[in-house]
Chains A and B, each alone.
Chain A
Amino acid sequence: MIRNYLKVALKVLSRRKFFTFISLFGIGITLMVLLVATAMLDYVFAARTPEVHADRMLGVYQLTMQGKDDTETAPPGYAFLDRYVRPMAKLPSVERVALVSGAQTAVSYLNGRKIQSALRRADGEFWRVLAFDFVEGGPYTVADDEAGRFVAVISETTRERFFGGQPAVGRTIEADGQRFRVVGVVRDVPVLRFSSSADLWVPVTTAKTSAYKEEWLSGFYALILARSHADLPQVKAEFQSRLREAEKHLPDPKTFQHLYTGADTLFEGAARMFLPAGGAVADPGARLRAALLALMLGFMLLPTINLVNINLSRILDRASEIGVRRAFGASSRTLAGQLLIENLVLTLIGAAVGLILALGVLRAFNVSGLIPQTHFELNFRIFFYGLAIAVFFGLFSGVYPAWRMSKLHPVQALRGRSA
């Protein structure tokens, strides 16, 4: 039966070539955009170097301090993280905790040439929570950080810029007027990895002043590596209890009385940063997922309406066939199933078109260097998402016409009428 349906579906598509082209074009472009967006989201949030343990990693990326008249939201400060998050490393469910600053622009001068680099200050644990791909040397240690040694890990691009691609370990690099001895070189990390990417990483303790040690709101993140994915809810709950404790010791209790944030996955962390009032949202991930889903559905609405219309006009075209099938024993439900299958065939062909277009667009993105150190790709997971979107699209646009088709009276259909 399915073979016959497929045969009919392909014949019907080839019968009205222009409409088929319009349909495939609409589906293809829609799915291409969704696939490209999915590939980008996957690139930002999926477990990949250096966040290979993303499935069991949480971060504190934002902190909201709220009072009666004032609210401030920013990445948390070192003082807050050092006092309330770093000690979580002693919990049985937590393997390690690392503190790292956001990327800041550091200026260097080399042979009269100004070079701007993204610099992060990170503790020694940072290198053990994340798994960077070292091409030369190795990371600096917890002891290096505690001792305030001026050492640095640099990216391959930085090595290229400063040392012409020659071995860099043991050599000195200057940034923002400070000189660091290079101890390691890592493969470039795309800027989209917002908690780890940089051009050079140096110990926290090499900061020019120690003012950061007293700040509750500044530019630091905490990365918490749980023992397993199953431990994440427990770690999140423990973080919330520590947040309540921290509320009792706020530095300026007259202005601020409440603290809001969460220990978040990469996706939740991004959601908290982008959503309005993200700091106070209990589950920002769910909100962002809902927003992305709504965006996706909205984006699919126009091609869906187009496809629904084309399907409805096809019913008129095929009234006689529908009447014959009804006369020879097809129930309403069977006919509806047939139209859905036909629609799925169309959307899957559209998906293949979308996949080819998406490959082209991603390749163009990669070649253009629009987003530095980024190499988007379509992997099996994204292909699966694309397939799921196409199937959903096929069902979404096929249900109403299929329902109309199934309600067609056989006698009317045999007379060539669709209603």
Chain B
Amino acid sequence: MIHLQQVSKLYRTDRVETTALDNINLEIGKGEFVSVMGPSGCGKSTLLNLMGLLDEPSSGRVALDGKAIDRYGDRALSRVRNERIGFIFQQFHLVPDLSVADNVEIPLLYRRMSNRERRKAALAALDRVGLGSRTHHFPTQLSGGQQQRVAIARAIVGRPNILLADEPTGNLDSQMGDEIMGILEDLNQKEGTTIVMVTHDPRMADKTHRVVRLFDGRQVQ
């Protein structure tokens, strides 16, 4: 489903050139739940950004369902992200000015839908993560675990078939982390959603189908 072929990513400043990823070859199959592990700064988030079409490789090829995305323009990339990919971030990245339901609606704003359809889908997604009663709350009124559940609802509201989670349990205690992990496993098993999750926690990685390990930008497993 996601295919990275000889992908490298360099960051250049005036004086320094840093290799974030070096010649990565990786295939993520449909319905897989893959975790990405490695020390801080090894390129895990960069890898996720490339899979999520948020960034472009310096060299190599990223393909989605066999289609290389290197020739896609901004609008086409935006459409693919909107329809196929959902993101979950360690910092949640909820918009503080919007209610829980409005936050969840964000991906649907970029689709042709009526307000009623949009709200219905958002409420269904919130029900799915057990927050159906908190739709009118604002992010600051919720606990960290609840905020991450809102972020998951936002990621799945558009029914994407790929979920990219960047340390989704990193800011949560173990109990809340387990709850979030339970939701992700459920999505993977019941809906067949392909999930790639960056994590530092071996306990969480053990629950996934496969672990990809990175070290200094290279794939070591």
A binding-site residues for B, Cβ under 8 Å:
1, 3-4, 7-8, 11-12, 15, 320-321, 323-334, 409-411, 414
Interface range on chain B: under 10, 10 to 19, 20 to 34, or 35 or more?
A: 20 to 34
Candidates A4, A12, A15, A323; contact of B93 at CB < 8 Å: A323
Q: List 26 A-B contacts (CB under 8 A).
A: A4-B109, A8-B95, A8-B97, A320-B93, A324-B87, A324-B106, A325-B106, A327-B54, A327-B81, A328-B81, A328-B82, A328-B86, A328-B106, A328-B154, A329-B78, A329-B81, A330-B109, A330-B110, A332-B74, A333-B75, A334-B78, A410-B55, A411-B49, A411-B55, A414-B54, A414-B89
Q: Cβ of B67 < 8 Å from any Cβ of A?
A: no
Taken together as a complex, chains A and B put the C-alpha atoms of A166 and B70 apart, in Å, by: 90
Taken together as a complex, chains A and B put the C-alpha atoms of A12 and B96 apart, in Å, by: 10
Taken together as a complex, chains A and B put the C-alpha atoms of A329 and B80 apart, in Å, by: 7
Q: Is the CB of A329 within 8 A of B107?
A: yes
**Given that A4-B102, A331-B74 are contacting pairs, would A321 and B87 also be in contact in the complex, using a CB cutoff of 8 Å?**
no
Instruction: Write the nearest CB–CB distance from B5 to chain A, whole angstroms.
Output: 21
Taking CB atoms, residues of chain B closer than 8 Å to A3 are: 115
- Residue of B at shortest CB range from A3? B115
Interface residues of B in 75-103 (CB under 8 A from A): 75, 78-79, 81-83, 86-87, 89, 91, 93, 95, 97-98, 102
Q: Is the CB of A327 within 8 A of B83?
A: no
Q: Is the CB of B54 within 8 A of A334?
A: no
Q: Is the CB of A329 within 8 A of B55?
A: no
- Residue of B at shortest CB range from A334? B110
B binding-site residues for A, Cβ under 8 Å:
49, 52, 54-55, 74-75, 78-79, 81-83, 86-87, 89, 91, 93, 95, 97-98, 102, 105-107, 109-111, 115, 154, 158
Taking CB atoms, residues of chain B closer than 8 Å to A320 are: 91, 93
Taken together as a complex, chains A and B put the C-alpha atoms of A45 and B30 apart, in Å, by: 72
Taken together as a complex, chains A and B put the C-alpha atoms of A362 and B55 apart, in Å, by: 56
Taking CB atoms, residues of chain B closer than 8 Å to A331 are: 74-75, 78, 110
Instruction: Write the nearest CB–CB distance from A90 to chain B, whole angstroms.
Output: 66
Taken together as a complex, chains A and B put the C-alpha atoms of A12 and B95 apart, in Å, by: 11
Instruction: Write the nearest CB–CB distance from B77 to chain A, whole angstroms.
Output: 8
Q: Is the CB of B82 within 8 A of A329?
A: yes
Instruction: Write the nearest CB–CB distance from B162 to chain A, whole angstroms.
Output: 12
Instruction: Write the nearest CB–CB distance from B108 to chain A, whole angstroms.
Output: 9
Instruction: Write the nearest CB–CB distance from A235 to chain B, whole angstroms.
Output: 54
Instruction: Write the nearest CB–CB distance from B88 to chain A, whole angstroms.
Output: 10
Q: Is the CB of B109 within 8 A of A1?
A: yes
Taken together as a complex, chains A and B put the C-alpha atoms of A329 and B82 apart, in Å, by: 4
Taking CB atoms, residues of chain A closer than 8 Å to B82 are: 328-329
Q: Is the CB of A328 within 8 A of B110?
A: yes
Instruction: Write the nearest CB–CB distance from A239 to chain B, whole angstroms.
Output: 57
Candidates A321, A330, A411, A414; contact of B95 at CB < 8 Å: A321
Taking CB atoms, residues of chain B closer than 8 Å to A321 are: 93, 95
Which of B79, B110, B111, B115: most chain A CB closer than 10 A? B110
Taking CB atoms, residues of chain B closer than 8 Å to A332 are: 74
> Closest 5 interchain pairs by CB?
A329-B82, A11-B97, A331-B78, A329-B110, A328-B107
Q: Given A333-B74, A411-B54, output 10 extra A-B contacts at Cβ < 8 Å.
A: A1-B110, A4-B109, A7-B97, A11-B97, A321-B95, A324-B93, A327-B54, A328-B87, A331-B78, A333-B75
Q: Is the CB of B97 within 8 A of A12?
A: yes
Taken together as a complex, chains A and B put the C-alpha atoms of A411 and B46 apart, in Å, by: 9
**Given that A334-B110, A411-B49 are contacting pairs, would A327 and B105 also be in contact in the complex, using a CB cutoff of 8 Å?**
no
Taking CB atoms, residues of chain B closer than 8 Å to A323 are: 93
Taking CB atoms, residues of chain B closer than 8 Å to A410 are: 54-55
Which of B89, B93, B105: most chain A CB closer than 10 A? B93
Candidates A11, A326, A330; contact of B98 at CB < 8 Å: A11
- Residue of B at shortest CB range from A13? B97
Taking CB atoms, residues of chain A closer than 8 Å to B106 are: 324-325, 328
Taking CB atoms, residues of chain B closer than 8 Å to A1 are: 109-110
Q: Is the CB of A327 within 8 A of B75?
A: no
- Residue of A at shortest CB range from B154? A328
Q: Is the CB of A324 within 8 A of B95?
A: yes
